[in-house]
Amino acid sequence: MPETKKALPILFIVMFLVMVGFGIIIPVLPFYAENIGASPTQLGLLMAVYSLMQLLFAPMWGRVSDRIGRKPVIMIGIFGLALSFFLMGISSSLWMLFAARIIGGILSAANMPTVMAYAADITTPEERGKGMGVIGAATGLGFIFGPAIGGVFSKESLSMPFYIAGASSLFTFFLVLFVLKESLAPENRHGTHSEREPLRRAMRGPVSILLVLQLFISLSLSGLEATFAYYGAKKAGLESVNLGYIFMIMGFASAIVQGGLVGRLTKKFSEGFVIQLGIAISAIGFGLILLTNNFATAAIFLTIFGIGNGMIRPGVSALLTKTSKSGHGSATGLLSSFDSLGRIAGPPLGGWLFSLAIGLPYISGILLSVIAFMLYRFYTSQARKIAH
């Protein structure tokens, strides 16, 4: 087992670079697809098909990493990203763009669950929250820097960001190949015949409650992301540049909390405390967003929400890998799958609620947070029954 002090920073860099590559194409893809001839509906499908592939394939890659080790699966995921970026860069028709997104979705679904499983392998149960927080911080920071880089290079040409994202992913691939050590010893790997039964048992137990909790959190977050641009414009006259700064401030605050505070709070109290605190803070954030009336209030209220939301996923990931008996990869793969389901359903649901009344996505966010809080309480009561 690699030493945590050496492996966690490498894992942070790997996940940061993966998310930078992913983020680079975000501001460019809509215009790039439009140039090729995509309608708004086709653009929506182009975005959704990637998340759909992640939903379908993340659990499979998680199980594969339990069987053959983490390092080869992480390399497959990063190589898949690089390939999809280069394919998008050379796309001259819509079907090529869809093919690139589907290939990218299938292969890159390996990244998040396997990196989280790696973090679970190299951390003790006491340090697990810190490990998951570091991964969350890397993901958040990558999302901040990626779109900024993509925006700058898109001035040269719309295809340039795809080649830069591809090159960044290739660099990350070689970093993993030469620097990252395997975390899962051969004796700890699950064979094909034994891997599914514990997984089915886990899905029937309290673990399934945590997965549904993550689904509701993901649903509320993606609903906010899909509608806040319109909401901010109507309530506070915010433009795209203002929104970029607001999401950057929110991302930095969330990353700092995940990278530093989550680990300390988990160690001092518990994962459950961090999850409940995160849900409460994000619910308060949703409520405050309804009072937005200028740039400053939008930035403060969204940051409060972001800090709360950023605490939940590391706490759930840590708890899941500690309580699941089916292998870390299987558990984190399922978590990523439920997260993707929320990301697929959240934007259309948020958009529909927004069309009924502009404050509804945030009122529903408060409601989803309350349900998530109750789900966690239900999880603890079920876990206690099993323990006794």
Name the band, by pLDDT with cuts 50, 70 and 90, for residue 307: very high
Contact 276, 325 (CB under 8 A): no
CA distance 284 to 360: 15
More confident: 43 or 311:
311
Q: Which of 244, 232, 224 has the alpha carbon at shortest distance from 306?
A: 224
- Mean residue pLDDT of the chain comes to 87
Residue 192: predicted pLDDT:
46
What percent of the chain is modeled with pLDDT above 90? 46
Contact 306, 280 (CB under 8 A): no
Residue 33: predicted pLDDT:
86
Which tokens is 346 given? Answer: 């959240």
More confident: 285 or 385:
285
Name the band, by pLDDT with cuts 50, 70 and 90, for residue 156: confident
What does the DSSP assignment read for 102-141?
HHHHHHHTTHHHHHHHHHHHHS-TTTHHHHHHHHHHHHHH
Tell me which of 63-67, 137-141, 151-155 is least confident.
151-155
**Domains identified in the chain and CATH numbers:** 1-183 (1.20.1250.20), 195-388 (1.20.1250.20)
Q: Which of 86, 83, 87 has the alpha carbon at shortest distance from 95?
A: 87
Which tokens is 133 given? Answer: 């927080």
Residue 203: predicted pLDDT:
60
Task: Identify the DSSP state of 301.
Answer: H
Q: Which of 81, 338, 295, 300 has the alpha carbon at shortest distance from 203?
A: 338
Contact 318, 207 (CB under 8 A): no
More confident: 215 or 8:
215
Angle at 161 between CA 158 and CA 166, to 5 degrees: 135
- Spatial neighbors of 318 by CB under 8 A, at least 6 apart, are 120, 128, 129, 131, 132, 266, 271
Q: Residue 274: pLDDT above 90?
A: yes
